[in-house]
Structure 1
Amino acid sequence: MNDRHACPQRHDDREEIARLLPAPADWDLPRAQHLRHKDLLMRHIDRDQAETATPETTTAPARRARPLLRPALVASAAALALAAAGTTGAVLSGNGGHDDAAAQHAATDMRPAAALLHRISNAAANHGTLTVRDDQFAYTREKVRGADLTSGKAVVSPLEDYESWVSQKPGPLHTLGLVRADGETMPINAELGDTKGTPAGLGRPTYHWLASLPTDPDKLLAYLYAKTPAAEGRERDQAVFEQIGSLLGGLTPPRTAAALYQAAAKIPGVDRSSRVRDAIGRPGLGIVRDDTRYGVRTEWVFDAKDYSFLGSRSYLTKDASYGKAGTLLSSTAELAHAVVDKAGVRPAAEDRTGTA
């Protein structure tokens, strides 16, 4: 989406879309909010502090759980932000080639990735529309792995179970739901300092909010480019690709899911791969994009038969101070999604749905 070369009508359309649609949530921690390993680190710190608390501190309020939404479909952005903070003092411009996007978008339909994404889009459009009430919760069960970079080297965690129950209230909310990870169940809270709470939006995509997004791929892509949070040093195209990735796999209205896949097909640099696996080793069809600035590849994995979303993976494509090329940064496997009436309660097996 090229602001300098776009026609006035396209620019006006983008502003009108952004004005009419609900604003995305404003997180204190930008895209690192989605990174599971950082949340686990903070919880370990909290636990250590609680275990070493003196009698004088035992009357303090109970520790506040860090927000934890879906694991790291956008892991490369946040993980590398942690590493970059300790290894470099200079950052590149966040424009990320976005000024050339409009010219490149015209050629994307010729790429193999576009053909695959259109097939995935068609499959998603045929899923049934759900009835989701504002007082219900979106349930997700996944297997995840993530790299902890706090030591200066990537230390990959074992495969772990991860469950979440995210409120479907439009908000703003201070308690967004529950998460169960490492055998521990905690509330998902709004960020510290977020006194107004978190409304439905990019940071907390409820089913009804997702249904409010444009279903025209060009308008949806314009909205995502306008609203995806910027991060220093990030390619803009990569940031939008990963933003779409953070919306995949959950409970998504069929028309919105179809439009998201078609919008992804228009992002420069998106490619396909036949050598991809999710966190539990399921092979599939891959939609991939390389962040050439950071040397990281992000992969989406789809079932080869029904095109359902299986999971994601990100890893280094070149040597870095914290790991060699090929080092895993994050991996997920989608196992179950459902709508439930109460947070913390697992759905019956027959109530579980497939992924978008």
Structure 2
Amino acid sequence: MTPDKDVRADRRTDADARADSDVTEIARLLPAPDRRPLPHALHLHHKEQLMQHIDRDRADGPAQPARPALSARRLLRPAVLVPVTALALAGILTTSIVLSTGDDAPATTTASRDVRPAVALLDQISDAAGRSEELTVRADQFAYTREKDQGADLTSGKAVLEPLKESESWVAQEPGPLRKLGVTKEDGETLPINAQLGDTDGTPEGFGRPTYHWLASLPTDPDKLLDLLYAKTPESDDQERDQAVFERIGGLLGGVTPPRTAAALYRAAAKIPGVTKAPAAHDAIGRHGVGIARDDTTFHTRTEWVFDRQDLTFLGSRSFLVKDTQYGKKGTLMSSRAVLDFAVVDKAGQEPSRARES
């Protein structure tokens, strides 16, 4: 090596040493990283803040050539290009990526997950549902549900909203097929729930009569479950295919459901195109919560699911027009529902021992 090359090498070595020393000093001044797993929604917030800092740095400095998307490993840029606040955010991001994948977590990292707000919320709802109590339900028992609901009568060609009504139902858990599926009680009158139209030999358990045992038999892999839902949902010219599947999932919510099945249903819903977050959602009795929604561009309605802000339990749903149609003006309510209580009981007509505040 020539003397000039030796000098240049020594200069590079000195520069590298100074850079390492600067990074070490900045790291010493920063607070120790929090070792708790970072919630996915908070991770997305910090990531957005970091990228805004980086964009401002690049806008203030000399023009830089275009570069490919950053990988998780490259979020920590050299200290000379990133201010201390952005570097601290990067440290939080790196901690989140490393720690959020535990033994019972998916193999993917936070950085590789879908960043849509609806997906992040459904991930949280799924996790909460999966922690619910697993029940033992016998074939001779009944699934009890108490709810309030109202719907629009369309027979006149216009949406005429019916009064809000409270009802109770007891659905048989026997596999069947059954001619009598249970009983329902409304306005003090108890009536039988008969087999579905066309089921001359009785209705078996399935999408039309989802028993706890049948729900537990569904795939818990979201992709496989979604494939089954699309395969078993009839096609219609009056409704988008994706919307029909979304509403089919909604019809399975709010009752006695195995935790793993409920968790898979929410993760399957997150994969349906057009699903969004609905911040101002509320149910039939006015309980406000966080919401998941989807618009049907064929019928021009929005269907919303509403969840408790604290524990993310399912509260109810509603559907309304998102544009003026022959049935009414934009915002016209088409249906709404509020789940008040559910339980497993031994006999049809039996009130559950526990009750939920309405």
TM more than 0.5: yes
1:213 to 2:215 alignment: no
Structure 1 counterpart of 2:339: 334
Aligned counterpart for 2:263 among listed residues 258, 262, 268 = 258
Query: Which residues of 2 match residues 7-26 of structure 1 at below 5 A?
Result: none
Query: Which residues of 2 match residues 99-114 of structure 1 at below 5 A?
Result: 109-114=114-119
Q: Kindly provide the CA deviation profile for residues 219-271 of structure 1, in whole angstroms up to 9, marking residues without a partner as x.
A: 11111111112223321110100000000111110000000000000000000
Aligned counterpart for 1:120 among listed residues 114, 125, 135 = 125
Structure 2 counterpart of 1:190: 195
What amino acid does structure 1 have at the position aligned with 2:245?
V
Contact 1:108 1:266 (8 Å CA) reproduced: no
What amino acid does structure 2 have at the position aligned with 1:133?
R
Q: What is the rounded CA distance, in whole Å, between the counterparts of 1:337 and 1:277 in structure 2?
A: 19
Contact 1:163 1:180 (8 Å CA) reproduced: yes
Q: Kindly provide the CA deviation profile for residues 98-126 of structure 1, in whole angstroms up to 9, marking residues without a partner as x.
A: xxxxxxxxx99221000000000000000
1:224 to 2:229 alignment: yes
Q: What is the rounded CA distance, in whole Å, between the counterparts of 1:343 and 1:230 in structure 2?
A: 34
Q: What is the rounded CA distance, in whole Å, between the counterparts of 2:134 and 2:197 in structure 1?
A: 35
Query: Which residues of 2 match residues 269-288 of structure 1 at below 5 A?
Result: 269-288=274-293
Query: Which residues of 2 match residues 24-63 of structure 1 at below 5 A?
Result: none
Q: What SS is found at the alignment partner of 1:110?
A: coil
Query: Which residues of 2 match residues 305-316 of structure 1 at below 5 A?
Result: 305-316=310-321
1:180 to 2:185 alignment: yes
Q: Kindly provide the CA deviation profile for residues 193-237 of structure 1, in whole angstroms up to 9, marking residues without a partner as x.
A: 421110000111000000000001111111111111222332111
Sort the Cα spacing of 1:353 and 1:218 in 2 relative to 1 into closer, same or farther, 3 A.
farther
Sort the Cα spacing of 1:210 and 1:192 in 2 relative to 1 into closer, same or farther, 3 A.
closer
Task: Show structure 1 runs of 4+ deviating over 3 A.
Answer: none
Structure 1 counterpart of 2:137: 132
What amino acid does structure 2 have at the position aligned with 1:179?
T
Q: What is the rounded CA distance, in whole Å, between the counterparts of 2:332 and 2:196 in structure 1?
A: 30
Sort the Cα spacing of 1:108 and 1:202 in 2 relative to 1 into closer, same or farther, 3 A.
farther
| Structure 1 residue 278, shift from structure 2 partner | 0.4
Aligned counterpart for 1:291 among listed residues 279, 288, 296 = 296
| Larger RCO, structure (CA 8 Å, separation 6 or more) | 1
Q: What is the rounded CA distance, in whole Å, between the counterparts of 1:308 and 1:149 in structure 2?
A: 31
Q: What SS is found at the alignment partner of 1:185?
A: strand
Contact 2:340 2:356 (8 Å CA) reproduced: no
Q: What is the rounded CA distance, in whole Å, between the counterparts of 1:186 and 1:325 in structure 2?
A: 36
Q: What is the rounded CA distance, in whole Å, between the counterparts of 1:208 and 1:315 in structure 2?
A: 33
Contact 2:293 2:305 (8 Å CA) reproduced: yes
Using structure 2 for the length normalisation, give the TM-score.
0.67
Contact 1:311 1:333 (8 Å CA) reproduced: yes
What amino acid does structure 1 have at the position aligned with 2:340?
L
Structure 2 counterpart of 1:154: 159
1:239 to 2:241 alignment: no
Contact 2:283 2:318 (8 Å CA) reproduced: yes
Using structure 1 for the length normalisation, give the TM-score.
0.67
Contact 1:142 1:336 (8 Å CA) reproduced: yes
Q: What SS is found at the alignment partner of 1:122?
A: helix
Aligned residues: 246
Structure 1 counterpart of 2:148: 143
Sort the Cα spacing of 1:227 and 1:193 in 2 relative to 1 into closer, same or farther, 3 A.
closer
- Between structure 1 and structure 2, the one with the greater Rg is 2
Q: What SS is found at the alignment partner of 2:183?
A: strand
Q: What is the rounded CA distance, in whole Å, between the counterparts of 1:183 and 1:323 in structure 2?
A: 32
| Structure 1 residue 353, shift from structure 2 partner | 7.5
Mind listing any 5+ residue stretches in structure 1 that lack a counterpart? Answer: 1-106
Contact 1:298 1:312 (8 Å CA) reproduced: yes
What amino acid does structure 1 have at the position aligned with 2:345?
V
Q: What is the rounded CA distance, in whole Å, between the counterparts of 1:158 and 1:181 in structure 2?
A: 13
Q: What is the rounded CA distance, in whole Å, between the counterparts of 2:288 and 2:296 in structure 1?
A: 23
Q: What is the rounded CA distance, in whole Å, between the counterparts of 2:258 and 2:293 in structure 1?
A: 23
Structure 1 counterpart of 2:65: none
Q: Kindly provide the CA deviation profile for residues 262-308 of structure 1, in whole angstroms up to 9, marking residues without a partner as x.
A: 00000000000111110110000010000011110000000011000
Sort the Cα spacing of 1:238 and 1:108 in 2 relative to 1 into closer, same or farther, 3 A.
farther
Q: What is the rounded CA distance, in whole Å, between the counterparts of 1:193 and 1:293 in structure 2?
A: 28
Q: Kindly provide the CA deviation profile for residues 64-85 of structure 1, in whole angstroms up to 9, marking residues without a partner as x.
A: xxxxxxxxxxxxxxxxxxxxxx
1:267 to 2:250 alignment: no
| Structure 1 residue 192, shift from structure 2 partner | 4.1
Sort the Cα spacing of 1:192 and 1:121 in 2 relative to 1 into closer, same or farther, 3 A.
closer
| Structure 1 residue 152, shift from structure 2 partner | 1.6
